[in-house]
Structure 1
Amino acid sequence: MNPHDPILPTAPAAPRRFLPMLLVLFVGSGCAALIYEIVWLQLLQLVIGSTAVSLAVLLGTFMGGMCLGSLLLPRVVSVRRHPLRVYALLELGIGAIGLVVLFGMPYVEQVYSHYAGHGAPGIWLRGAVAAVCLLPPTLLMGATLPAIARWVETDAEGVSWLGFFYGGNLAGAVFGCLLAGFYLLRVHDMATATYVAFALNLAVAAIALALAASLARHEVPAGPTTNENARPAAGAWAVYLAIALSGMSALGAEVVWTRLLSLMLGGTVYTFSLILAVFLIGLGIGSTLGAILTRGAVSSRVALGICQWFLTAAIAWTAVMISQSLPYWPIVPGLSPSPWYIFQLDLVRCLWAILPPACLWGASFPLALAAVAARGQDPGRLVGGVYAANTIGAIAGALVFSLLLVPTIGTAGAERVLIGLALTAALVALLPLVRRSSGTLRLGGATTLAAAVGVAGCLAWSVTPVPWELVAFGRATPSLLAQSAPGIVKDVPEDPGDADVFCTYVGEGTNVSVAVTMTADGVRSFHGAGKIQASTLAADMRLQRMLGHLPALVHKKPESVLVVACGAGITAGTFVLHPDVKRVVICDIEPLVPTIVTPMFGVENYHVVDGIARENPHTVNGKQVKVVYDDGRHFLRTTPEKFDIITSDPIDPWVKGCAALNTVEYYQMCRDHLNPGGIVCLWIPLYESNLATSKSVIATFFQVFPNGILWSNEHKAFGSDAVWSNERDGFGYDAVLFGQIEPTVIDVDELQGRLDRPDHKLVKQSLREVGFGEFNQEGTDLLTTYSGEAPLLKEWSRGAQINTDRNLRLQYLAGMWLNSNMGEKILSGILAYYQFPAQLFVGSPESVQTLRQALTRAGRKSSPELARDRAGLSR
């Protein structure tokens, strides 16, 4: 809008005085909206899954509802309706639907589980469920800004206030994001968070109604001041297109940078909250500055175009900072005595990297409003149109970048596309202004735009991929680089002996970035979420084989197996050695893993997935092996199949979303999908954890499997006689949770007898390769990993926070303490409650006595020592 245009009639003086109060209301509204968004997306992910497709469906539905709401309200609600009363009713409706979604989700879950499947029909059903749950409240959310916009006029001051409202809404969203992520969901649960958001809706609605009642009735007359049929300013199409491209680049950047920063900071719920909060802070600051700028800009369209061109430099800044600067900041998280210090550093890194472009995206919205505003225009339609264009672009950006661009051209390529989008938005906004009325170009303007294109090209050229070390080692990258400097860590060393670690594969998949590395002494590792998830290191090989062989040998005759999370495939591969097994189903969320990563560990996993076609079974050693690309929880919810064994080896519980594979409800799903005599086996880390986290995992599992057993992976199994010494301390490293519906009884003689049979020769060899059988028979050595069972650990787990779908407590506990190293203390505390389980291990007196002595040599305490140690370790 040009400030030299004639000043339009304004609203009455008394209502204009209350605009700052409306700004405060919008802060509360934004806070409630972000709390709802976090809760709803978390609730729905539990139902329709947490794959990239499911997340895209959820995000697209959420933002699509906002877009429709902003477009529909000005068309279905008359301009004569009191803006404050309309706004209050919208807030009340949002709160009411928020409660309906919370209490109605179990019923939605039942219906979805009954009809859900895989493939295209499954995706359509996910979309239908998301629409039923999210469209009603998001339609109302999207309508709030157009509704309140009718309180102002479309003059320079009024449009400026619209920018302030938008900024206030974003300021509230920042507070809601941090309140939900760092307090409401960490300390309470999703129900409490919903009640807080509902209370905010009620308070905002009550204040709005009180303001409406205290003032004389405010109407915007449908006359010379406001004309419902008035059209936007000439050439508005260019502004709508520019703001749509700006929205596309903004959400695309959020997808890309959240992925990269979560590798660097650790993919916890707190990291995602900080990244979102910083992004919203930037949008809020930019919106406020843009609102101020609209009052003094000679041409808002020119300002919008320049803002988009500055975005090309700001995007390049962030890309360079993430790939070439932040990974090398000398930050060692393990040195911090408190996670709150690390959060401060994480906040600074996020601000340094992403605040500049976020501010420019925030400024774009009020500048676009001013650029299309025309005298007499309905403010609701003005805001609704610009908001809808921006949101449509944002939806496209989120979907295209997450599902298409990142998996195909990588994050660096996606960042170059972001620069191209910002440049295109600048050209779209500015190009009409360099044309004369005769149609010819102004030479100076054309030259300036050509130079801008050249500069943007140079900026795009400056973008480089993040170092592979960041994909592989995440937040530990500075420590790795410090240990290997100078010049020891190399991408492709001329001689492997010249490098401690080098990379053999890096891939950025639809759901996660992965890498495979090798050390100079031949240890290969699979990396996901910025850390090692599986390797050929002795400690890991022992655990991975143990997770498969233990349930397969305890079960009387296992025929069908479900493996949740493929990884290096070593656990899945153990099952193809067992003669009774006929079918193995492997469920993994990321297609890159079974197709590319797992075959790289073919020797160790017995080539379990080599050459397998997508979701089509093949035969390995006479066993039918099938790979399903889905998250394990969603697969279990939607499959009618039952199994003799279910093993689960997901990414660490501190990674956002993984706590859903450790809830009471998930374990109940596993239990319900077991055949009679079936077994559930679950990997749990004791490293990168604290006592409260480990108690939560173990107590939650034991709540569903009250006869459950804990087996620990101690590769230094017999103290001074250790044969598995390496760079990792084996005591308290990780463990296996084991559960059956029936009480478990293990016949020691029968188990060893099976191993001695000719058809179990490969199983026996597989156990020996990882150290079982060095001191006793293989079966006895395997059983010496016993560390406790549910009835004996009730006292140890007293006060544990049970992880449920409604609180997902584990991801908040684990995310807080991922930089701690208390595994040895945790296991020592568990072993202080050790008693030889005579009801668990049966057989000949000689075999049972041999096992009892082996357990004693493995560090399990005898009864006289138990009371003494318990006093010191239970606290």
Structure 2
Amino acid sequence: VWTRQLSLLFGATVYNFSLILAVFLAGLGAGSLVGARIARHAERADLALGWCQLGLLAAIPAGAYMIGYQIPLWEVGPTFLPEVSTSRGLRFLYDIVRCFAAIGPAALLWGASFPLALAAANTGESDPGRLVARVSVVNTAGALVGTILFSLAVVPGAGTHRGQQLLVAVAAVAALLMLTGGGRRRADESVSPVVGGPPAVVFGAAVLVVSLIGVWAVPRTPNGLVALGRDVGGWDTIAAYHFVEEGVNASVAVTDSDAGYRQLHISGKVVASTMDLDMRIQRMLGHVPALIHGAPRSVLIVGMGAGVTAGSFVTHPEVERIVICEIEPSVLDASNHFAVENHAVLSDPRTEVIYDDARHFLATTGEQFDVITSDPIHPWVRGAASLYSVEYHELVKERLKPGGVVAQWVPLYETDEVSAKSQIATFVGSFPNATLWNSDFLDVGYDLVLVGQAGRSRLDGDQIASRLLNDQRLWRSLDEVGLGSTVELLQTYAGQGRDLEPWLRDAAINRDRNLRLQYLAGLALDRQDAYGIYESIVGYREYPSDLFQVSPDDEAALLRVF
């Protein structure tokens, strides 16, 4: 529960997951030291364990309140701890403090519970190893069952708010059992509660009341946390929430911004919207590879998002099969709020949805496709780098039909040049003739589309012009994002892999065995160097006369751009 919430608040990088785990384990360790000391001196370890569980009735709601309503206010910036905001090391240490303020008290109490449980379970056991093993097995089994239950059922079924209330209820039951039922410290001790007789009933009722207060005190998870996570300043820019769901793999939301755009949020960040720039990149991820191929019949889309990329293929009448591979079911439900923009792709009879991890699907299917377009979440999100690796690209290549085309999204924002180089060089290593296409209206860089094909590509401008002239639905889909003519489409060309060889020479290649990209990108999620990165790329761009086959008039117009 807290891993989900804190990863939204801090950013779901591999570093922040490590930070959260380290703080939690440190709390458990420190709590165990304190609990062991108490167990050595306490006359009744079982009652000490009960009081420890009672403390969780306050610590768990307090942690939920801190994560949702206090720690977001501690976000550093130009006006608050500016020296921390500009130092990566200080920011990491500061996040450790913020994390401990939220989950530290509960972690300490859970840590103290283990040695107290050992002492409470000791009924004169002559073999301490057997005692420790017995309690450890129960503790480990409980942790595994809890992890599976909360990950697969509680959080996706009831949400993190109800999940934390359930944790309070479990702690309350444990406290009630320990404090009113008692236990043995030694074999010759009698069983007695903390109070006996009629007062025990009153005490039990008091514990029950405190438990109910603890459950009630757990605050709701803020919608702003689910939607925008670490972008705390943006929480107030949302005009309306249309969909909020905490799924098995990610938290998903659909909102309207106060600027009038509809937005899709996954894992605490906007991944798609109806803003012109976002619509342009989403449409390009579908139309560019389809037009380069010329006549695709089967297409695979990795990552549904808002469905705009998948919906682009609906406007290509030659496409007979549209396969969407999406790991999070909530995303499909959210995409229905973009039915106009995605041409109602989920209702198209040619569409099939596969709920699976893309790597697993590609590795196990025997099907091949004319076009595979991949639009996973940002590579700084933990685990996403596996969809940007050499092995992934080689797997994609195996699933392409002869002459097949692959497209890959490349973000230039929330990253740095080292990370962008890694992503592009890894792709170019598998597709040496790769081309890059820029989605920015002003040709200054924001997102890129990497396109690869086995063998040399050749773009027939006359054929594209003929298709746009004779297919009004296709033309409209492109014209809505400023790509309604051959020149407008081809002038988004930003370069090709072989021209970038000097720039990519020192790039770190992202492989499955190291997933280097997620570590590089994770260090750069606060960077906004899109313009500088794009300038470096287009510095190697030349007019691709071997790629473009266009009319003299179109060529003259394109040469003025390049």
Using the size of structure 2 for normalisation, the TM-score is 0.95
Match of 2:199 among 420, 444, 453: 444
1:104-123 matches, within 5 Å, as: none
**Bigger-Rg structure (1/2):** 1
* 1-structure distance, mates of 2:59, 2:370: 55
Q: Of Structure 1 and Structure 2, which has the larger fraction of its residues in strand?
A: 2
Q: Which residue of 1 aligns with 2:187?
A: none
How far 1:845 sits from its partner (Å)? 3.6
Q: Measure how far apart 1:438 and its partner are.
A: 11
Of 217, 240, 243, 1:462 maps to 217
User: Which amino acid in structure 2 is aligned with residue 344 of structure 1?
Assistant: L
Q: Does 1:658 align with 2:384?
A: yes
Deviation at 1:561, TM superposition (A): 0.5
Shift of 1:442: 2.4
Q: Distance in 2 between matches of 1:529 and 1:832?
A: 34
Deviation at 1:376, TM superposition (A): 5.1
Deviation by residue 1:498-518 (Cα, 9 ceiling, x = unmatched): xx6332221111111111111
Asked whether the 8 Å contact 1:333–1:475 carries over to 2, the reply is no
Aligned partners of 1:438 and 1:674: how far apart in 2? 72
What is aligned with 1:585?
323
Partner amino acid for 2:315? Answer: L
Read off the aligned partner of 2:435 and give its amino acid letter.
I
Find the aligned partners of 1:363 and 1:333 in 2 and give their Cα distance: 40
AA of the residue aligned to 2:542: Q
Q: Deviations over 1:427-458 (max 9, x none)?
A: 22233229997999522333223212211211
Give the alignment partner of residue 674 of structure 1, picking from 400, 410, 419: 400
Q: Is 1:779 aligned with 2:483?
A: no
The correspondence of residues 617-656 of structure 1 with structure 2, limited to 5 A, is 620=348, 623-656=349-382
The equivalent residue for 1:338 is 87
Given that residues 563 and 587 in structure 1 are in contact (C-alpha distance below 8 angstroms), is that contact kept between their aligned partners in structure 2?
yes
The DSSP-based 3-state class of the residue aligned with 1:647 is: strand
| Structure 2 residue 161 is matched with structure 1 residue 412 | yes
Alignment correspondent of 2:27: 282
**Are the aligned partners of 1:749 and 1:847 in contact in 2 as well (CA < 8 Å)?**
no
Q: What is the count of residue pairs matched by the alignment?
A: 552
For residue 705 of structure 1, the aligned residue among 427, 431, 446 is 431
Matched, 1:522 2:260: yes
Indicate how the Cα distance of structure 1 residues 376 and 509 shifts in structure 2: closer, same or farther if over 3 A, else same: closer
Q: Which amino acid aligns with 2:234?
A: L
Q: How many angstroms does 1:779 deviate by? A: 2.0
1:116-164 CA-to-partner distances (Å, cap 9, x unmatched) read xxxxxxxxxxxxxxxxxxxxxxxxxxxxxxxxxxxxxxxxxxxxxxxxx
2:54 is aligned to 309
Structure 1 stretches of 5 or more lacking a match?
Answer: 1-255, 490-499, 611-619, 718-730, 861-875
> Could you say if the C-alpha distance between residues 369 and 556 of structure 1 is closer, same or farther in structure 2, counting changes exceeding 3 Å?
same
Match of 2:411 among 660, 665, 685: 685
Amino acid at match of 2:450: L
Please report how far the alpha carbon of residue 333 of structure 1 lies from its aligned counterpart in structure 2 after TM superposition.
Answer: 9.1
How far apart are 1:313 and its partner, in Å? 1.2
Structure 2 counterpart of 1:244:
none
Structure 1 residue 287: Cα displacement? 0.7
Does 2:38 correspond to 1:300?
no
Take 1:798 and 1:745, find their aligned partners in 2: how far apart are those partners? 26
- Identity score, percent: 47
Deviation at 1:342, TM superposition (A): 2.1
3-state SS in 2 of match to 1:743: coil
Deviations 1:705-746 (A, max 9, x none): 0110111111225xxxxxxxxxxxxx2211101001111111
- Do the aligned residues in 1 keep the contact of 2:183 with 2:191 (CA within 8 Å)? no
Question: Which structure 2 residues correspond to residues 156-305 of structure 1 after superposition, within 5 A?
Answer: 256-305=1-50
Give the CA deviation at 1:332. 3.7
1:220 aligns to what? none
- Looking at structure 2, the residues matched to 512 and 376 of structure 1 have their Cα atoms a distance apart, in angstroms, of 46
CA distance in 1, matches of 2:191, 2:270: 63
Q: Distance in 2 between matches of 1:521 and 1:712?
A: 24
Give 1:664 deviation, angstroms: 0.2
Inter-CA distance 480–843: structure 2 relative to 1 (3 Å threshold):
closer
1:753 to 2:498 alignment: no
Q: Are the counterparts in 2 of residues 512 and 590 from structure 1 also a CA contact under 8 Å?
A: yes
* Structure 2 SS opposite 1:794: helix
Question: Can you list the C-alpha shifts for 1:617-640, whole angstroms capped at 9, x where unaligned?
Answer: xxx2xx510111112111111111
Deviations 1:330-372 (A, max 9, x none): 4349963332232122111111001111111111111111112
2:456 is matched with which residue: 743, 746, 755? 743
Question: CA offsets per residue over residues 551-585 of structure 1, 9 Å max, x none?
Answer: 11111210000001101100000101101100000
Q: Supply the AA of the counterpart residue of 1:771.
A: G
| Structure 2 Cα separation of the partners of residues 824 and 604 of structure 1 | 28
* In structure 2, distance between residues paired with 1:606 and 1:639: 27
Whole-Å separation in 2 of the counterparts to 1:677 and 1:395:
48
Name the residue aligned to 1:799. Answer: 506
Q: Which has the higher helix share?
A: 1
Is this contact kept in 2: 1:748–1:848, CA < 8 A?
no
- Quick check: 2:176–2:207 contact (8 Å CA) kept in 1? no
What is the CA deviation profile of residues 71-97 of structure 1, one whole-angstrom value per residue up to 9, with x for unaligned ones? xxxxxxxxxxxxxxxxxxxxxxxxxxx
The structural deviation recorded for 1:844 is 3.8
Deviation at 1:463, TM superposition (A): 1.2
- Asked if 1 retains the 8 angstrom alpha-carbon contact of 2:182 and 2:191, the reply is no
User: Which residue of 750, 758, 764 maps to 2:475?
Assistant: 764
Task: Report the CA distance between 1:288 and its aligned residue.
Answer: 0.6
> Which residue identity does 2:225 align to in structure 1?
L
